[in-house]
Amino acid sequence: MTDVALQMLYGDRSKYALLISGVCFSTILMAQGLAMFFGILSFSYATLDNIRVPIWVVDPKAKVQERSATK
């Protein structure tokens, strides 16, 4: 069955060319969409990652218990 389908597809060069170009174009669009998603994700994470200030501002009434990792 697949042999007949492939013979019909290969027999018509215009259908084959359009099919291959459509698959290639959709692959490029999917890769572009993923690249944009991960770019936006890394851009939004960069504001949290690049903080160089060693101060954490909280409400003066907040109760903070500092525990050291080593005893």
Domain count within the chain:
1
Establish if 30 belongs to a structural domain: yes
**Residue-range definition of the domain harbouring residue 33:** 15-49
User: 7-20 pLDDT, tens per residue?
Assistant: 877 888 888 888 89
Sorting pLDDT into bands at 50, 70 and 90, what band is 29? very high
Establish if 60 belongs to a structural domain: no
Q: Which tops the pLDDT comparison, 20 or 27?
A: 27
Question: For the whole prediction, is pTM greater than 0.75?
Answer: no
- What is the rounded radius of gyration, in angstroms, for the C-alpha atoms of the chain? 28
Sorting pLDDT into bands at 50, 70 and 90, what band is 33? very high
Establish if 68 belongs to a structural domain: no
- Residue whose pair of structure tokens reads 């949290």 in the numeric block: 48
Residue 31 has pLDDT above 90, yes or no: yes
Establish if 56 belongs to a structural domain: no
Q: In whole angstroms, give the CA distance from residue 24 to residue 30.
A: 10
Establish if 40 belongs to a structural domain: yes
